Structure 1
Amino acid sequence: MTEQITRPKVQIDIVSDVVCPWCIVGFKQLDQALSDIGAQANLLWHPFELNPNMPAEGQNLGEHIREKYGSSPEQSQQARAQLTQLGSDLGFAFNFSDDSRIVNTFHAHQLLDWAALQGRQHVLKLALFSAYFTQEQDVSDSDVLIRCAVSAGLDGDAAQQVLSSGSHAASVREKQQFWTERGISGVPSMVFEGKFLITGAQGVETYTQVLQRVLEESA
């Protein structure tokens, strides 16, 4: 009889936005680090809006980047190429075009907040990343959000009710405030076991080192 090996589990809180490319890059790097050292994570995603005042119709991504960061078209194109290569190396497909848009994500965060209570938050988060970055879909659109919810194993009618009622709006605002008051001003921000904060997509090696330190301390 083969003895079953129990892999250690680490609590990781990730503050992020679904339209933040470095959030999915950071998660993929983290996921690889977890695999490399044979550990598991108890993941909980927390809301952050990169553009809380973004109107319902959104904005052309290239235009938005120029206005917000002062990037030239050449710099923007270079950044997209870098992200596309990074994503490819990590098994995630970024698809950018001249028509790519940045959108409001408040409704997406409300759906994620509800999904956490159903035990399907992580699956939904990954579905939203894929919908926005790979399939170039509008993750502020209710139909897109509901399709993502259904693909994540959630009930479509219940998801529609969450969005139409705003039942999780206050909860999302409270959680945003909680993290903002603790100094979180950029994403991704990952908190390991409530002790170690890593901001930005820091690479597989950095995440591996943090995970090993956390596991050594817990041992």
Structure 2
Amino acid sequence: MQQIKIDLVSDIACPWCAIGFARLEKALKSLPDINATIEWHAFELNPDKNMSKEPILPALSRKYGRPEAEMRAAQENMIRIATELGLNFSKMQQRFTCNTFDAHRLVKWADTQHKATAMKQALFNAYFGEAADVSNHEVLMQCAQSTGLDKDAAAKVLATNEYADIVDADIAKYQHAGISSVPAFVINNKYLISGAQEPSQLAAALQQIAGEASA
């Protein structure tokens, strides 16, 4: 069995990050001889903690300087891709912009109980599937509870600045490394795969990297 480590840099508010992870899972299922350890790392698309919430389509239109209809078409394409992968993106176009810092803190807490991936997936589902506000502490506590974590314990984490330094360090580390868009997959602390690549492309890259590592 070949071992690889995948550091996955992503944001909860990034639809391609949810798609990218689903594609990674599919790639890894096609590689039974590779055992991958996955560690999630924080990135913020909207780092302003005091940002005003705005409907996603006009927000994206302003950010990218493109017509709202074009943004809607791009979102519809992502919904199609996500649905084919079994993801719930049913309310993707009804969501609002939001800051994800506290959500990232909760992922770090979940990681101490080996639930980081489950927590991340619950957050993706809440944001894209339910158009929930993933900066809202009640929403975050419900996501924690849905993964089998203790809701009251999650509330205690959210009521403090616990794990904030770890999230800040994550963001600073990968920005310093030159990562400016997500998802980004750092393999064995050496190789970078950017973007939500197709499962076949990911599988080929991972197989090559694992082979080089074992050699």
TM range (shorter): over 0.9
* Aligned residue in 2 for 1:11: 5
In the TM superposition, residue 139 of structure 1 has moved relative to its aligned partner by 0.6
Q: SS of the counterpart of 1:26? A: helix
* Aligned residue in 2 for 1:119: 114
Q: Hey, what's the Cα distance between the residues in 2 that align with 1:76 and 1:180?
A: 26
Conserved 8 A contact 1:149-1:159: yes
- Is 1:184 the counterpart of 2:176? The answer is no
Runs of 4+ in 1 over 4 A off after TM superposition: none
Percent of pairs identical after alignment?
Answer: 37
* Aligned residue in 2 for 1:3: none
Conserved 8 A contact 2:26-2:199: yes
- Is 1:72 the counterpart of 2:67? The answer is yes
- Is 1:26 the counterpart of 2:42? The answer is no
TM (normalized to structure 1)? Answer: 0.92
In the TM superposition, residue 135 of structure 1 has moved relative to its aligned partner by 1.6
Aligned length: 213
* Aligned residue in 1 for 2:143: 148
- Is 1:83 the counterpart of 2:78? The answer is yes
* Aligned residue in 2 for 1:4: none
- Is 1:63 the counterpart of 2:58? The answer is yes
Gaps of 5+ in 1: 1-6
Conserved 8 A contact 1:55-1:103: no
Residue by residue, what CA displacement relative to the aligned partner does 1:159-214 show, whole Å, maximum 9, x if unpaired?
11111111111221111111111111110010111111011111112201111112
TM (normalized to structure 2)? Answer: 0.93
Q: Hey, what's the Cα distance between the residues in 2 that align with 1:40 and 1:71?
A: 42
In the TM superposition, residue 56 of structure 1 has moved relative to its aligned partner by 5.2
Q: Hey, what's the Cα distance between the residues in 2 that align with 1:167 and 1:97?
A: 30
